[in-house]
Amino acid sequence: MRSRFLLVTLGVLALGGCGVPNDRDPRPIEPSVTIGSYEGPMAAASPGAFVERLFLVRDNQLVPVDRRVEAVPPPRRHLEDLVTGPTPQERGAGLDSALAGTSYITGVRLVNGTAVVGLAVDNPIRNDETLAYGQIVCTLAARADIVAVQFAQAGRTMEVPRGDGALTSEPLTEADYESLIAG
């Protein structure tokens, strides 16, 4: 019994001297390396407290791109940023947009978590329209306040292509374009 007590006491004393100081008050620990920091070109070009996720295009695939912004933009502003297209740095990385320069998005409204995107009647038919709709759906569906996206033209629900090319007027999510998202 005495030998056990002696072993336990020695073990406690050995652990007590393992190099961790015994302070009276808590103190901050100063790490020598910051984990998760990013020092690339986007860090300097786009400071901000929030992330705005956009889906751009490279090699006929949708590519998620995170931009730092000062505040979470409303859905309409988020779409405007998408239509504006890639920044010079993003273009340098080979990113493009099937929406750049278009003006057929007339607005967006939220209905029970579904973003209803209005399209102009003179919506031009494009050979990359599946990517264009995929960019809109995936960008809006990446938001915490949107669960699905639907399209309307002149107040009527509109059929648009899913990632597999099938037309639907049902609400769409990122999963409908999963085959087009770069892995």
| Residues β-bridged to residue 117 | 108, 151
| pLDDT in the model for residue 175 | 97
Instruction: Check whether 68 has a pLDDT greater than 60.
Output: yes
Measured CA to CA, the distance from residue 171 to residue 148 in angstroms comes to: 6
Q: Quick one: tokens of 75?
A: 């859905």
* Among 85, 17, 64, residue whose Cα is nearest residue 183: 64
Instruction: Check whether 40 has a pLDDT greater than 60.
Output: no
The segment with the largest mean pLDDT, out of 3-12, 25-34, 60-69, is: 60-69
Task: State the average pLDDT over residues 49-68.
Answer: 94
Measured CA to CA, the distance from residue 128 to residue 120 in angstroms comes to: 18
Task: State the average pLDDT over residues 28-46.
Answer: 40
